[in-house]
Amino acid sequence: MKFAVIVFPGSNCDIDMYHAIKDELGEQVEYVWHDTESLDEFDGILLPGGFSYGDYLRTGAIARFSKVMPAVVKAAEAGKPILGVCNGFQILLEAGLLPGAMRRNESLSFICKPVELKVVNNQTMFSAAYREGETISIPVAHGEGNYYCDEETLVKLKENNQIVFTYQDNPNGSLEDIAGIINEKGNVLGMMPHPERAVDELLGGADGLKLFQSIVRSWREANVVKA
């Protein structure tokens, strides 16, 4: 499987994402600059965390208009797995690939610490390696991670089982403790916690590795012909 790590001006978790794929999964991965206009050669697209374009206007608001984003939309429409983490999640929201918006943390402070998540839905290409209801530890690092949507959208998220991860002890005020959601089609995941920073016990834990393993396993089941 071949992954693209999209690099925007201000991305700072792209190296972590690259490491998770290349060194921990052993899969192919390339950095792809934000002005690239085709992602056809890639099987999965990763939007890393950071401060794209300095977070001017709103987090992700300028990155949403980068030249690469029509290709990201095309990949999403084709059913390819798209993962947006932290700033990547914010970009997916701004691009309309996921519903809702991000607000400042309730504390109005930047939060950087490990948090416990509950796996609410393990029937996705991103969470299949987890047990339903499993508690995992993944670090967060954000100032605007307070997820919000209107009541109608929240009802749809629940009805379609689009809430994948929730916080056990909500660090930012996020609505309904939401930490990660997927689109209705099930191939676009946005989450504020950083699974790429939890892929090796030497770094404090490896609970995030199963997320990437889930993506690869799902892709292989769908695309690799067994002899």
CA distance 32 to 71: 12
Lookup: tokens for 225: 């012909």
Model pLDDT, residue 159: 97
> Domain containing 30: what range?
2-223
- Fill in the DSSP letter of residue 102: E
| Distance in angstroms (rounded) separating the CA atoms of residues 13 and 11 | 6
Which among 13, 94, 144, 194 is annotated as catalytic? 194
**Could you confirm whether 142 is annotated as catalytic?**
no
Question: What pLDDT does 182 receive?
Answer: 98
The percentage of the chain sitting over the pLDDT mark of 90, rounded to a whole number, equals 95
Classify residue 122 by its DSSP letter: -
**pLDDT at site 183:** 98
- In the set 86, 94, 144, 149, the catalytic residue is 86
For residue 39, what pLDDT is reported? Answer: 98
Q: Find the CATH number of the domain harbouring 166.
A: 3.40.50.880
Is residue 13 among the annotated active site residues? no
Q: Which residues pair with 191 in a beta bridge?
A: 85, 180
pLDDT at 225: 66
pLDDT at 203: 83
pLDDT of residue 57: 87
Catalytic residue among 134, 184, 196, 201: 196
Quick one: 31 exposed, middle or buried, by C-beta within 10 A (0-12, 13-18, 19+)?
middle
**Number of domains the chain contains:** 1
pLDDT number for residue 226: 59
Task: Compute mean pLDDT per 10 residues along the chain, 227 residues long, and list them.
Answer: 97 97 97 98 98 93 97 98 98 98 96 98 98 98 97 98 98 98 98 97 94 97 75
Distance CA 5, CA 21 (A): 10
Region label for 102, one of left (φ > 0), alpha (ψ between -120 and 50) or beta (otherwise): beta
For residue range 14-70, list pLDDT tens digits in order: 999 999 999 999 999 999 999 999 999 999 999 999 999 999 889 999 999 999 999
112 flagged as catalytic: no
